[in-house]
Structure 1
Amino acid sequence: MRKYALWFFRQMSAVRGRLLLRIIAGLLQVALGLWLVWLCRRFIDVVIWRGNVLRETIVLFSVIALLIALRQLVFYLSGITEVILQNDMRSRLFRFVLGRKLYAVKHQAEAGPGKPASDMLSGDISQRLERDLSSASSVVTDILPTIVVTLVQLFGAFFLMRSIDSILAWSLLVLTPVVAVCAKYLGSRLKKMTLAIREEESSIQMMIQETVEHELTIKTLQAESTVSGRVGSMQQRLHHLVRRRIRFTLISRLLLAFTFSYGYFGAFVYGAIQLKNGLITFGVMTAFLQLVGQIQSPIMSLLGMIPQLIHASASVDRLVEIENTEQEESLSQADASIPLQRACGIRLQDVSYSYPDERKKVVVSHFSYDFRPATSVAIVGETGCGKTTILRLLSSIIQPDSGRIVLYDALGKETEGTGMRSHIVYIEQGNTLMSGTIRDNLLLANPLATDEQLTEALHVACADFVFSLPAGMDTKIGEHATRLSGGQAQRIAIARSLLREGNILLLDEISSSLDAETEKLLFDRLFTSYADKTIICVTHRKEVADRCQEQIRL
């Protein structure tokens, strides 16, 4: 419980002022509500018989109007606070997602409960940043302020009731600890059920997202019925889990409803007997019934929040897993002492690396090589021999298990780790474009690039076809560039990377979707335009490898 309280307290930093206003408005609402009970009792017992009815009616009308206004203020503050908090939490968690180390698996003891960070697929992360985040933020913006206000309302109504009839007040309040014990038992079971539901929801989200992303593959394989069947089976499991939780919740709600409904009925009968015996007035009887509602309503509200808190605790566990992902060294901490304009080389010294899966297969073993400044080197070899892994090591996307990778310049200055990335231009194979316009994609690499720079990059990448499109660089390309051919999308992706100011070009099978003539023209322009830079390319094409000054065969 303490860890959840601390976690929620940290989330409040962006909205503490608004939360305080929300609580103050709620407390004023409670005070006016209790005052209204007292005014109604006085109005019935005193004012109607010998008071100024018009004046008291105006007072009652004003109090009711203030209550209505305060309810709207609470609603407004809750809505504004929620969107501010959700944006703040989503931005912070999104930075964790973007800053996590790729291909890094923590041991379960380090990663905490649930899935290790590397097991989170894109659909699962989306689910956590939407459904789980919404559930957790509602605790801060709605449930916690409501608990404070509701407790004040409960005790305020109790003390006001006690001033009228202490026996009835204590008999109503004594139900609270009994219900609290039941709630603790219900809570542990509800949390397990909620965690299972959240995991199943994430699985469905992942399945749907991957199906949409690979829709063309699904259609060509005629696997629509297979995929639909899998989603249907997953939804059946979710349906079973939700029904189980609903049945469990229904029983608990039924017991509580009987308890409080008959409690209200008992108060009504007790008040009627007192009224018949002349021990109370009709105004006191009215106050009885109002205060019973003001005592039972907070208790019911608090009990209703227990399942929400349980659901939220399960969501917090899933969000904490994102926070616990192993993070890269921040670029602000990294050494970037070598100016970007200076030619650079990169040296691997006895480097070994294995992806952290269960097999621990060594992909790169004791590899050493000096990629000297302003040279071109081709890395060739069979599929799976570690060519792309070397590029990932060079770009500091992954870190070696042993050995050193050092970026250096002619003056002997060196840097390691993520500090090297600002000097690297990494061009991946295939279509890596995002939805939006061609210009939007290009500006990802350099938001300050001018139209002249964009045009030059497109020309070097043999993407001059862009200028013949009706909207030119402002053409919308859709998700995964569905409106372009594979070769066109690949060339725009190359142009995007060329807009970076790095001194070392890492080319990973960048011509795999191009015909021989376009490939030759592309490399002619690359080697001519970037003759002063270090070019390292992974290729299966002999023609490309022969153009390089050096070759490494793995």
Structure 2
Amino acid sequence: MRYVKWFASQTSGLKANMAVRIVAGVAQVGCGLLLVVLCRHFIDRGIWQAGVVKEIMAIFAVLVVSILLRQAVYYLQNDAEVRQQNTIRSRLYGILLGRRLFDKRERMHSGDISQRLERDIQAVSQVTTDVVPRMAVTVVQLIGAFLLLHAMDKVLAWSLLLLTPFVAVCAKYLSHRLRQMTLDIRSKESSIQMLIQETMENETAIKSMESAPWLGKRLASLHADLGRLIRRRTRFTMLSRLLLASTFGLGYMGAFVYGGLQLRDGLISFGVMTAFLQLVSQIQSPVLAMLNMIPQIIHATASIDRIREIETMPMENETEKTTALQGPIGIRVEHAYYRYKDNGKTVLEDFSYCFTPGSSTAIMGDSGRGKTTVLRLLSAVAMPDAGSVYIYDGEGHKLSGATMRHYITYIPQGNTMMSGTIRENMLLANPDATRQQMEEALYTAAADFVEKMPQGIDTQIGEHATLLSEGQAQRLAIARGLLHGGEVMLLDEISSSLDEATEATLISRLFSRHSEKTIIFVTHRKATAEKCDRVIRI
């Protein structure tokens, strides 16, 4: 039932499309049944009468209408599918951007997420926009064909319909087995996606270590596992379909023999015999169609479970910004505790500190002692397990949680640039930024090299800025962060890829242009720490 509710919740904005498709499908069924009647009449009477041309034209007209309806259904189905895929993907994308980071349930591989946003969304949208309307039309076709055959021969109609319970029993047996097989296949596909994605992101290291042969073998092993899982599911599906197809084949043969005997005894005409065979097909084909829909639905339920893992990710609790802070802003940590969610290691224990408004502080210490964790807590990217973190102004107003970020510039360590142009990367921080504001941020970040490029800020930089040096990419990331604004600046190892001269220029410009702001560095550089008012060692 929970899957039915989930499917129903995804049809918002598509109900009119689905209703039109069902109506068109029912009309198509009507054309098929009308064609049976016309063919019977044509064989029994039409070919012996003068109006044979009219009979042929009527049959031709019904065929044309049926073809047009089929094309209309095809167009509507594809339109609905792409709209729903985009809707679900956009919603999940919003959830991913709003989830609470560094939570154990959040730690899902990016390759696995990509797989869920593609294959799993595709599987569920096909069921919602295609299988559900087709199933409704199929039921109408089954009922219509049964009633028409019942009007011609009750015994044959009921004999064919009695096969349905057998199909239902088979469907029940199929459901659990197929669902687990599909989950295994989806998991293996995600593993392949992860390997390929990480390989592309670390090509330089892979080439330098000559790891390509080993990775090729690893991919081949994953492919072999995936092939084995798919072949197992295919064999299971083939055996199931073979059993049911044999059952329906016997049913068709029985109808053929029954009709032949009736025809021999003069109880039916050739037209009725033709109608028998057409209607038998129209009764069996809906049942077979529903049988083919069952694996799709089962695959989709497995995909729903994977999508639900994203939907139920813990989200940030963004509190309302009741009061705007004024003037210089400080930030305070009180009795904060934090431990990693995956291994339980405690990195901060009863940590307290007040970063006063307008001060500059350097946080130093050995690797792994929690320096970056402090900045994550200060920026509300991560939340403490206990204790509190908040910003405040001179009037005594306070803010905590995600709303703090409006007043904070946080520049994390590492290469955080995205594919596109420099301008597009800068606009991520401030979509309304002017060219002058961008140039000022670039200057402050010692990224003057941009103006010497042929396309300037419209230069394409590639994925993770692969067309630039690490130092250039780092300075662009700093400029982008500065463009976001904020009275508190959190800078995590921002000069790790810079030479001493460039570092000195960067730090000098930061202090001269943002002297009124609260600046907090995480650094290993003594030269940077010496320019700060205070130094904290963790």
TM-score interval for Structure 1 and Structure 2 normalised by the shorter chain: over 0.9
**What is the percent sequence identity of the aligned residues?**
55
1:256 paired residue among 234, 244, 247? 244
Please give the alpha-carbon distance, in whole angstroms, between the structure 2 residues aligned to 1:395 and 1:475.
30
In structure 2, C-alpha distance between the alignment counterparts of 1:552 and 1:241, rounded to whole Å: 55
Match of 1:14?
13
In structure 2, the residue matched to 1:49 is: 48
Deviation at 1:553, TM superposition (A): 1.1
> Contact between 1:14 and 1:88, CA under 8 Å: does it hold in 2?
no
Partner of 1:447: 431
SS of the residue corresponding to residue 461 of structure 2 reads: coil
Q: What is the distance in 1 between the residues matched to 2:341 and 2:414?
A: 25
Letter in 2 for 1:510: I
Equivalent AA in structure 1 for residue 36 of structure 2: V
Which residue is equivalent to 2:411?
427
Once the two structures are overlaid, the 10-residue window that deviates more, 349-358 or 207-216, is: 349-358
| Counterpart Cα distance in 1 of 2:219 and 2:64 | 52
Residue 165 (structure 1) aligned with residue 153 (structure 2): yes
Residue 218 of structure 2 corresponds to residue 219 of structure 1: no
List aligned pairs for 1:479-494, cutoff 5 A: 479-494=463-478
Q: Which residue among 300, 320, 329 is the counterpart of 1:344? A: 329
Structure 2 CA distance, aligned partners of 1:128 and 1:483?
30
Counterpart-to-counterpart distance in 2, 1:248 and 1:239: 14
Question: Which of 269, 273, 277 is residue 257 of structure 2 equivalent to?
Answer: 269
Shift of 1:336: 5.7
How many angstroms apart in 2 are the aligned matches of 1:14 and 1:326?
Answer: 27
Partner of 1:278: 266
Amino acid at match of 1:93: L
Q: Secondary structure at the match of 1:384?
A: coil
Alignment of 1:166-205 (within 5 A): 166-205=154-193
Superposed CA RMSD in Å reads: 1.2
CA displacement at 1:118 relative to structure 2: 2.7
- Unaligned runs of at least 5 residues, structure 1: 106-116
Aligned 8 A contact 1:458 1:495 in 2: yes
Report what 1:516 is aligned to.
Answer: 500
Q: What is the CA deviation profile of residues 140-174 of structure 1, one whole-angstrom value per residue up to 9, with x for unaligned ones?
A: 00011111000110011001000001111111110
Whole-Å separation in 1 of the counterparts to 2:362 and 2:287: 72
Maintained 8 Å contact 2:99/2:106? no
**Aligned AA (2:450):** V
* In 2: Cα distance, 1:144 partner to 1:32 partner: 21
Aligned to 1:534: 518
**Secondary structure at the residue paired with 1:507?**
strand
Q: Displacement, 1:47?
A: 2.6
In the alignment, the residues of structure 2 paired with residue 456 and residue 502 of structure 1 have an alpha-carbon distance, to the nearest angstrom, of: 15
Task: Find the aligned partners of 2:273 and 2:311 in 1 and give their Cα distance.
Answer: 55
Distance 1:460 1:52 in 2: 90
Aligned to 1:111: none
Counterpart CA distance in 2 for 1:494 and 1:323 is: 33
* Runs of 4+ residues deviating >6 angstroms: none
Counterpart contact for 2:106–2:314, Cα < 8 Å: no
Report the 3-state secondary structure (helix = DSSP H, G, I; strand = E; otherwise coil) of the residue aligned with 1:14.
coil
Query: Once the 2 structures are TM-superposed, how far is the Cα of residue 351 of structure 1 from its aligned partner?
Result: 1.0
**For the residues of structure 2 that align with 1:430 and 1:179, how far apart are their CA atoms?**
58
Residue aligning to 2:29: 30
Residue equivalent to 1:83: 82
Indicate which of 526, 530, 538 corresponds to 1:546.
530
Q: The residue matched to 1:207 in structure 2 has which SS?
A: helix
Kindly provide the amino acid, as one letter, of the partner of residue 270 in structure 1. Y
Query: Which of 385, 393, 405 pairs up with 1:409?
Result: 393
Equivalent residue number for residue 97 of structure 2: 98
Give the secondary structure class of the aligned counterpart of 1:356.
Answer: coil
Offset of 1:547 from its aligned partner?
0.2
Letter of the 1:191 counterpart: R
Post-superposition Cα deviations, 1:329-363, rounded to whole Å, max 9, x if no partner, equal 24xx4326224x632111111111111123x2211
Are residues 1:209 and 2:197 paired?
yes
Residues 275-294 of structure 1: per-residue CA shift (max 9 Å, x gap): 11110111111111110110
| Rounded Cα–Cα distance in structure 1 between residues aligned with 2:502 and 2:49 | 101
- Give, in angstroms, the shift of residue 221 of structure 1: 1.1
* Residues 333, 352 of structure 2: 8 Å contact kept: yes
Using the alignment, how far apart are the partners of 1:41 and 1:145 within structure 2?
30
Offset of 1:193 from its aligned partner? Answer: 1.1
Aligned to 2:140: 152
Distance 1:430 1:186 in 2: 49
Determine the C-alpha separation between the residues in 1 that align with 2:50 and 2:3: 54
- Specify the alignment match of 2:490 in structure 1: 506
For each residue in 1:12-58, what CA deviation from the matched residue of structure 2 results, as whole angstroms up to 9, or x when unmatched? 11211111111111111111211111121122223333362232322
Residue 114 (structure 1) aligns with? none
Deviation larger for 198-207 or 264-273: 264-273
> Is 2:333 the counterpart of 1:334?
no
Q: Is the 1:374–1:535 contact (alpha carbons within 8 Å) kept by the matching residues of 2?
A: yes
Q: 1:336 to 1:487 in 2, by over 3 A?
A: farther
CA distance in 2, matches of 1:441, 1:146: 45
CA distance in 1, matches of 2:360, 2:154: 91
Structure 2: gaps spanning 5 or more residues: none
Question: 1:297 is aligned with what amino acid?
Answer: S
Distance 2:329 2:322 in 1: 12
Matched, 1:292 2:280: yes
**Conservation of the 8 A alpha-carbon contact between 2:11 and 2:128:** yes
Read off the aligned partner of 1:533 and give its amino acid letter.
K
Q: What secondary structure does 2:507 align onto?
A: helix
Per the alignment, residue 228 of structure 2 pairs with 240
Partners in 2 of 1:329 and 1:118 — Cα distance? 15
Q: Distance in 2 between matches of 1:338 and 1:378?
A: 27
TM-score (norm 2): 0.98
Match in the other structure for 1:395: 379
Give, in angstroms, the shift of residue 413 of structure 1: 1.0
Q: Mean alpha-carbon deviation: is it higher for 388-397 or for 344-353? A: 344-353
Aligned 8 A contact 2:335 2:386 in 1: yes
2:113 is the counterpart of 1:125 = yes
Aligned position for 2:296: 308
- Match status 1:462 vs 2:446: yes
Amino acid at match of 2:526: K
* 1:345 counterpart letter in structure 2: G
User: Structure 2 counterpart of 1:334, which letter?
Assistant: E
Q: Is the 8 A contact 2:142 2:287 kept in 1?
A: yes
